Structure 1
Amino acid sequence: MNKIRLIWSVLAALLSTQAVLAENDNPKRIIAIGSSITEIVYALGQQDRLVGRDRTSTYPTEVLELPDIGYRRSLSPEGVLSVEPDLILALEGSGPPDAIAVLQQAGVQYITIKDEFSLDGVIEKIQTVGAVLGVDDAAEDLATQTKRQLSQAQTAAHNAAASDPKRVLFILSTQDNRITVGGVDTQADSIIRLAGGVNAADSVSGYKPLTPEAMASAAPDVILMMDRQGNHDTEDHALFSLPSIKLTPAGRNKRLIRMQGAFLLGFGPRTASAISDLSAALQDVGDS
């Protein structure tokens, strides 16, 4: 059933873009909005066509040489159009809606790429981007290789965790001592499960603040956070000094894993490596 759904999703994406692409069969000035989209363009060998990237697109490092057109959820039409693109590939959820509406009316091809936090979702992204860029064969090769790597990484992770799966709490932020966590239906939930862990915040949906009482019930063995810099970062000692964290198994044992956000949550070509790295980190903290 998943395979049939994946095929139909890709076909639908192709049909929806066919009329637009007919106006320009070979777009040469492309903006990628969304880290996974940018990584796919590079993995397909089409990076020479990129003329801009959003702020979340930081891998590979060469992409940093491109003009930064802003954060993908708070785009300005002026910033995007300043690099004169003839095609915009935007990850689902880019915004705000009024900015997207302006871009769609500006005479530039604007194509939304579905963002699903699953193994099938990764493959669908690759196939859709490849079809839009006219490199179907390269996309099929990349999809086949990526699918094999994802399957191997998931199997190895679940085998490693089989006897002692860790309860993992993904903390998005601790601003003003409000602990916002990743519940079900999030990228965090998916990557935790794929790596053989148990989401300790499965009592909530989406990214939500967790009360001290709910934190006690969650009883995480390990805390998982994005490796951030500047004002968005929470230092280890500050995290473990929070009263609701102190009393959890993770707090008492000071078990914390930090990983780069786009790598951990991007669900692009590097997802197999993210699964393997998170699985290994979970095993390491369990042995400490």
Structure 2
Amino acid sequence: MRIFSHTCSNTEIVCALGCGDQLVGVDADSDYPPEIVSRLPQPGRDLDLDTRAVLALKPDLVLSSLTVPGHERIVDEFTALGLRTITCDPQSLEDVFDDIATIAEALDVRERGAQLIAQMRAQMPAVTVAKQRPRILVEWWPKPVIAPARRSWVNDMIELAGGRNPCGDIDAKSFSLPDDAQPYIADAVVMSWCGVQVDKYRPEIVRRREQWQHWPALRDERIYPITEAWLGRPGPRLVEGYAALRRIIQSVEAGAARG
């Protein structure tokens, strides 16, 4: 089967299923695994994808997603061009697993999909919490501060790892925090800024927020980077994001125990 993948998460799912050799092209943001994607045509990124160039690659299947605002237009173009398309739109972690199963079935590797899901579940166990859960605020963007809310796989991951998302009671995919963010106070802040390389994250932007100065996260210097590749891509490497969140939560808990 000839596959074109539009979005990093779908590319990583295909490769984790052992089907990377069937890819005939990917979007320009797909950078993992490098040994596979570096040799493939990349006809544009996100909303600037050249869909006619995708058509020229003669894919049997296009994998797209609605996780990036505006992708609907690209998906509509795929349809107009007559390209068979599977479009993922995960919100919860269970949705991510369902998408993996759907892609595995389309690629006729259903058993590999089940194995991948089982491996991911095993690597993201639900932690039993005896005391109060540390409040972990993940930032998708620093200005305005945009954070995942209840309908987000990251919210589920924080809960599994033993923490609590301060925005977890908000019934939305994401939430833009007001200037007075007191109701969303956090014990740790995680920078996972969309579209920014992790070495470009700037914790001083978080530190200088005037109304956050009394937060435990700033008082105790608990501002952490986790690459968006591990939190923002609903695919196999979420297990890396879970592990990073778990380490942060353990650090907060250890600090609380020391008093």
Q: Does the alignment reach a TM-score above 0.5?
A: yes
Is the CA contact (8 Å cut-off) linking 2:63 and 2:86 kept in structure 1?
yes
- Give 1:132 shift: 0.6
Name the amino acid aligned to 1:200: P
**2:125 aligned partner:** 154
**Of 101, 124, 128, which residue of structure 1 is paired with 2:102?**
128
Verify: 1:188 aligned to 2:154, yes or no: yes
Count of residue pairs brought into register by the alignment: 251
Name the amino acid aligned to 2:168: D
Instruction: Summarize the alignment of residues 206-245 of structure 1 with structure 2, pairs less than 5 Å apart.
Output: 206-213=173-180, 215-226=181-192, 229=196, 233-245=200-212
Q: Distance in 1 between matches of 2:53 and 2:156?
A: 33
5+ residue gaps, structure 2, are none
**1:71 aligned partner:** 45
Q: Distance in 2 between matches of 1:143 and 1:179?
A: 32
**1:47-76 deviations in Å (ceiling 9; x for gaps):** 111122224432222244023333335534
Q: Distance in 1 between matches of 2:17 and 2:33?
A: 13
TM-score by length of 2: 0.83
Moved over 4 A (4+): 230-234
Q: Distance in 2 between matches of 1:116 and 1:245?
A: 29
Verify: 1:34 aligned to 2:7, yes or no: yes
**1:61 aligned partner:** 34
Greater alpha carbon shift after TM alignment, 39-48 vs 67-76: 67-76
Instruction: Summarize the alignment of residues 86-105 of structure 1 with structure 2, pairs less than 5 Å apart.
Output: 86-93=60-67, 95-105=70-80
Verify: 1:112 aligned to 2:83, yes or no: no
**Of 116, 119, 137, which residue of structure 2 is paired with 1:142?**
116
Greater alpha carbon shift after TM alignment, 252-261 vs 186-195: 186-195
Say if 1:174 and 1:257 are closer, same or farther in 2 by CA, change over 3 A.
same
**1:4 aligned partner:** none
**Of 192, 198, 201, which residue of structure 1 is paired with 2:167?**
201
Is the CA contact (8 Å cut-off) linking 1:75 and 1:96 kept in structure 2?
no
Is the CA contact (8 Å cut-off) linking 1:113 and 1:129 kept in structure 2?
no
Q: Compare the two structures and name the one with the higher helix fraction.
A: 1
- Give 1:93 shift: 4.1
**1:5 aligned partner:** none
Say if 1:263 and 1:219 are closer, same or farther in 2 by CA, change over 3 A.
same
Is the CA contact (8 Å cut-off) linking 2:133 and 2:162 kept in structure 1?
yes
Is the CA contact (8 Å cut-off) linking 1:226 and 1:260 kept in structure 2?
yes
TM-score by length of 1: 0.76
Say if 1:83 and 1:285 are closer, same or farther in 2 by CA, change over 3 A.
farther
Q: Distance in 1 between matches of 2:57 and 2:247?
A: 41
**2:214 aligned partner:** 247
**1:219-240 deviations in Å (ceiling 9; x for gaps):** 2110012166469954112220
Identical residues among aligned pairs (%): 25
Verify: 1:169 aligned to 2:137, yes or no: yes
RMSD: 2.7
Is the CA contact (8 Å cut-off) linking 1:53 and 1:63 kept in structure 2?
no
Is the CA contact (8 Å cut-off) linking 2:167 and 2:175 kept in structure 1?
no
Say if 1:192 and 1:55 are closer, same or farther in 2 by CA, change over 3 A.
farther
Greater alpha carbon shift after TM alignment, 78-87 vs 274-283: 78-87
Verify: 1:270 aligned to 2:237, yes or no: yes
